[in-house]
């Protein structure tokens, strides 16, 4: 293959270098952050993948805290990702350490993690083995909770994160693939471009086999996986999110129809796929109109994070929603001993409010209520009314019991409350007629729901979906059921 052709493939894998020079080695923590430590770590292992290890440790981190691994994108550095992604904010707030592996031009001309190279991204080999050595080193030094180790990444880093979830499912309790690709989509550089730009036309079972084949004989438990994708991404096409959804729902032996769908900030549609116990095993976050990058939302709110820049896109704080999906917001070191509240139910709605009630939990001093993943209130009683809502809109709620020491227990199952007023409308027909009716649009042979931008599959008369409209002109896939 010619050098220009190789450069072309690499360009399609890249993220443009973030503006501004960042220091190497020991990097100072931004002034607004808690007095944690971000620094390079050496001597973590034999390092067969020739990677560099950086680590952020919050001040006064207790033993038994979770550990997050965060992988940068092409042409980026660990410092770039630490500075812009927002993970430091939640490490300080909720008490966990972050490991930032870093690759460089010696491995790849554009400093991409080698998600497409079977000699580097498979169990026990190359970069994958180096990342595992970093995890083991950090966990041993910090006394981390071995059952609460998670991994996330952007673009090429996301492709590597997906590979590592498949390579080491016994290590990672959960993962997040941001603008990335399915595990083991490509095994050579030549195949990488096809994975990024086109559907691979594999069944969910075939995608699942790529995960199962990464660690033959492993029977679970499997990691819980968050998938983030912009609908206008032309570097890693939105079909990759659909393939990731197919891959990990098949691994979990659950269907590809969402258990619930709701709206989040930044034009984000969250579709969750529950396991047999009713807990989300796979979460797909589709961001309408977003291009290629990591979703951030600068601000001081708990659900806001990061700084915008090249390929750090101001839409919604993906790190916050990923962390809450993994349960990192419970309390430092993991959830308290209190069980999840049962019997959570909607007792009433108006056009602007929703009232909830649940069964009291013994030992609970208070309860925390979350709407669409964000904390909206706390109450000492087993009921709560949320106000300031939009009419005719569905909201997802969970409730967590908190003991007298402030330790939060497990979160309840999600219940959905739909405010009164302009009720959502639903339309069921094939993709061709959804496009013809103006409820979806066609791009590259695929149909996408207007508003949410969700990938509906091939634009033909053979694929059928139910689309829910709320508000007017904004459509989401509602195959699991529509309230209209």
Catalytic residues: 155
Q: Are 456 and 477 in contact (CB under 8 A)?
A: yes
Measured between alpha carbons, how far is 414 from 347 in angstroms, rounded to an integer? 15
The token pair that represents 3 in the structure block: 């050098």
| Closest C-alpha to 415, from 467, 452, 372 | 372
SS3 assignment for the chain: CCHHHHHHHHHHHCCCCCCCCCCCCCCCCCCCCCCCEEEEECCCCCCCCCCEEEEEECCCCCCCCCEEEEECCCCCCHHHHHHHCCHHHHHHHHCCEEEEEECCCCCCCCCCCCCCCCCCCCCCCHHHHHHHHHHHHHHHHHCCCCCCEEEEEECHHHHHHHHHHHHCCCCCCEEEEECCCCCCCCCCHHHHHHHHHCCCCCCHHHHHHHHHCCCCCCCCCCCEEEEEEECCCCCCCCHHHHHHHHHHHHHCCCCCCCCEEEEECCCEEEEEEECCCCCEEEEEEEECCCCCCEEEECCCCCCCECCCECCEEECCCHHHHHHHHHCCCCCCCCCCCCCCCCCCEEEEECCCCEEEECCCCCCCCEEEEEECCEEEEEECCCEEEECCCCCCCEEEEEEEEECCCCCEEEECCCEEEECCCCCCEEEEEEHHHHHHCCCEEEECCEEEECECCCEEEECCCCCEEEEEECCCCCEEECCCCCCC
Q: Give the count of beta carbons closer than 10 Å to the beta carbon of residue 255.
A: 14
Strand 260-264 and strand 224-230: the pairing is unpaired
Backbone angles phi, psi at 153, to 5 degrees: -170, 165
- φ/ψ bin of 473: left (φ > 0), alpha (ψ from -120 to 50), beta (otherwise): left
């Amino acid at each position: 293959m010619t050098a220009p052709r190789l450069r072309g493939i690499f360009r399609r894998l890249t993220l443009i270098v973030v503006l501004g020079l960042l220091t190497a080695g020991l990097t100072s923590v931004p002034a607004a952050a808690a007095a944690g430590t971000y620094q390079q770590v050496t001597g973590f292992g034999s390092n067969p993948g020739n990677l560099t290890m950086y680590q952020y440790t919050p001040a006064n981190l207790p033993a038994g805290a979770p550990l997050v691994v965060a992988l940068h994108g092409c042409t980026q550095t660990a410092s770039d990702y630490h500075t812009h992604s927002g993970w430091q904010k939640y490490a300080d707030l909720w008490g966990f350490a972050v490991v930032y592996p870093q690759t460089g031009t010696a491995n790849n001309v554009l400093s991409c993690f080698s998600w497409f190279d079977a000699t580097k991204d498979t169990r026990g080999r190359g970069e994958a083995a180096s990342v595992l050595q970093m995890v083991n080193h950090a966990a041993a030094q910090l006394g981390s909770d071995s059952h609460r180790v998670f991994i996330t990444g952007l673009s090429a880093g996301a492709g590597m994160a997906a590979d590592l979830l498949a390579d080491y499912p016994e290590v990672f309790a959960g993962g997040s693939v941001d603008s990335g690709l399915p595990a083991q989509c490509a095994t050579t550089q030549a195949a990488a471009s096809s994975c990024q730009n086109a559907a691979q036309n594999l069944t969910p079972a075939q995608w699942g086999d790529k995960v199962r084949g990464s660690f033959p004989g492993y029977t679970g438990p499997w990691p819980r996986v968050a998938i983030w994708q912009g609908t206008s991404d032309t570097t890693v096409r939105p079909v990759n999110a659909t393939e990731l959804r197919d891959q990990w729902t098949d691994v979990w032996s659950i269907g590809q129809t969402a258990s619930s769908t709701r709206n989040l900030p930044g034009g984000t549609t969250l579709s969750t796929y529950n396991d047999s116990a009713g807990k989300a095993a796979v979460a797909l976050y589709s961001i309408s109109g977003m291009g290629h990058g990591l979703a951030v939302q600068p601000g001081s709110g708990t659900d806001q994070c990061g700084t915008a820049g090249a390929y750090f896109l101001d839409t919604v704080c993906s790190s916050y929603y990923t962390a809450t999906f993994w349960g990192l917001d419970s309390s430092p070191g993991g959830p308290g001993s209190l069980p999840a509240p049962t019997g959570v139910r909607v007792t009433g709605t108006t056009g602007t409010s929703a009232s909830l009630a649940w069964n009291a939990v013994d030992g609970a001093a208070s309860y925390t209520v979350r709407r669409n993943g964000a904390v909206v209130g706390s109450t000492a009683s087993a009921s709560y009314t949320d106000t300031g809502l939009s009419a005719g809109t569905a909201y997802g709620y969970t409730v967590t019991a908190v003991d007298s020491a402030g330790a939060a227990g497990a979160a309840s199952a999600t219940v959905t409350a739909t405010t009164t007023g302009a009720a959502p409308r639903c339309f069921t027909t094939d993709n061709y007629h959804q496009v013809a009716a103006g409820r979806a649009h066609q791009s590259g042979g695929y149909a996408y729901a207007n508003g949410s931008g969700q990938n509906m599959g091939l634009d033909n008369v053979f694929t059928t979906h139910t689309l829910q409209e709320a508000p007017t002109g904004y459509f989401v896939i509602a195959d699991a059921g529509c309230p209209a």
